[in-house]
Amino acid sequence: MKIEFRENGSIGIETGGKYVLRQGDQEVVIEKPRVSLCRCGHSSYKPFCDSTHKRIGFVAPAAVIELDTDT
């Protein structure tokens, strides 16, 4: 799994093909190879990014985390 903190932007996560979204006691499986999560805290579509970071001038450094999910 790869988590990418984009410079001045969202958090991109490679899902491996699908991810599970849990809200309360509801669980939804979504098949999508990549998802972008809000990092600025101002998205109207939380936890997902809606590009509000561009409008508000969000500033943050880039970083990448790679996790070995085979173990």
Residue 71 belongs to a domain: no
pTM: 0.80
Whether the predicted pLDDT of 62 surpasses 70? yes
Residue 45 domain-assigned (yes or no): yes
Q: Please state, as a whole number, how many other Cβ atoms lie within 10 Å of the Cβ of residue 6.
A: 17
Residue carrying the six token digits 């991109």: 12
User: Tell me, what amino acid is at 50?
Assistant: D
Tell me whether residue 43 is in a domain: yes
The pLDDT tens digits for 6-55 are 999 999 998 888 888 888 888 988 888 899 999 999 999 998 999 999 99
Structure-model confidence comparison of residues 50 and 67, the more confident one:
50
**Backbone torsions φ then ψ of 55, nearest 5 degrees:** -70, -35
Q: Which domain holds residue 12?
A: 2-66
pLDDT of res. 71: 61
- The answer to whether residue 49 is domain-embedded is yes
Domain for residue 40, yes or no?
Answer: yes
Q: What is the CATH number of the domain that holds 13?
A: 3.40.5.90
Q: What DSSP string describes 9-59?
A: S-EEEE-TT-EEEEETTEEEEE--SEEEE-SSS--TTTTB--SHHHHHT--
How far the first Cα of the chain sits from its last, in Å, is: 12
Number of structural domains the chain divides into: 1
